[in-house]
Amino acid sequence: MTRFTTRRSSLPKWAAGCVAVAIAAGACDLRPAPGFARGELIFDTCSPCHGKDGAGDESLGAPALAGAMDTYLTAQLERFQAGVRGYHYQDAEGLRMRPMSRALITDDGDVESIVEFLMSLPIVDPPATLAAGDAEAGEEDYTLLCANCHGIDGRGVDNVPDAPSLLHLNDWYIASSLRKYRDGVRGASPGDASGTTMRNAMTSDWTDDRIDDVTAFIMTLRRLPRRIPGPPPEPLPPVDVDPSILPEGVTVAMVQEGQDIFNTPTGICYTCHLRAGVGGALAPNLTDEVWLNIDGEYESIVEIIISGVPQPVEHPGFMAPRAGMPLTDEQVRAVAAYVYTLSR
Residues 41-80 that bind ligand HEC (CB under 6 A): 42, 45-46, 48-50, 60-63, 65, 68, 73, 76-77
For 62, phi then psi, to 5°, come to -95, 120
Residue of 220, 258, 37 lying closest to 139 (CA atoms): 220
For residue 319, give the 3-state DSSP assignment.
strand
- Give me the helix-helix angle, 193-201 and 171-183, nearest 10°: 100
Nearer to ligand HEC, 17 or 208 (CB): 208
Contact yes or no for 55/68 (Cβ under 8 A): no
Q: CA-CA distance, 76 to 172, in Å (whole number)?
A: 19
For residue 62, give the 3-state DSSP assignment.
strand
Contact yes or no for 20/27 (Cβ under 8 A): no
Q: Tell which one of 162, 183, 260, 303 touches ligand HEC (CB under 6 A).
A: 162
Smallest separation, CB 124 to ligand HEC (Å): 14
Contact yes or no for 193/323 (Cβ under 8 A): no
Q: Name which of residues 132 to 151 contact ligand HEC (CB under 6 A).
A: 141, 145-146, 148-150
Residue of 79, 126, 86 lying closest to 104 (CA atoms): 79
Nearer to ligand HEC, 20 or 33 (CB): 33
Contact yes or no for 273/259 (Cβ under 8 A): no
CB neighbour list of residue 81: distance below 8 Å, 6 or more residues apart:
101, 102, 104, 106
Contact region for ligand HEC (CB under 6 A) — 2-10, 19-27, 239-247, 302-310? 302-310
Binding mask 164-203 for ligand HEC (x = CB under 6 A): x-x--x----x--xx-------xx------xx-xx-xx--
Contact region for ligand HEC (CB under 6 A) — 4-12, 126-134, 159-167, 243-251? 159-167
Question: Total residues contacting ligand HEC (rule CB under 6 A)?
Answer: 75
Q: What is the signed CA dihedral for 192, 197, 202, 203, rounded to 10 degrees? A: 80
Smallest separation, CB 10 to ligand HEC (Å): 18
CA 259 to chain centre: 22
For 309, phi then psi, to 5°, come to -130, 90
Residue of 322, 326, 72 lying closest to 191 (CA atoms): 326
Smallest separation, CB 84 to ligand HEC (Å): 8
Binding mask 4-33 for ligand HEC (x = CB under 6 A): ------------------------------
Binding mask 248-287 for ligand HEC (x = CB under 6 A): --------------x----xxx-xxx--------xxx-x-
Q: Tell which one of 291, 303, 306, 343 touches ligand HEC (CB under 6 A).
A: 291
Contact yes or no for 26/80 (Cβ under 8 A): no
Nearer to ligand HEC, 21 or 45 (CB): 45
Q: Tell which one of 130, 189, 318, 343 touches ligand HEC (CB under 6 A).
A: 318
Q: Name which of residues 193 to 252 contact ligand HEC (CB under 6 A).
A: 194-195, 197-198, 200-201, 214
Smallest separation, CB 26 to ligand HEC (Å): 25
Contact region for ligand HEC (CB under 6 A) — 9-17, 160-168, 225-233, 247-255? 160-168
With b meaning 16 or more CB within 10 Å and e meaning fewer, what string describes 67-98? bbbeebbebbbebbbeebbbbbeebebbeebb
Contact yes or no for 55/42 (Cβ under 8 A): no
Contact region for ligand HEC (CB under 6 A) — 27-35, 120-128, 227-235, 303-311? 303-311
335 lines the binding site for ligand HEC (CB under 6 A)? yes
Binding mask 98-127 for ligand HEC (x = CB under 6 A): --x---x---------x-------------
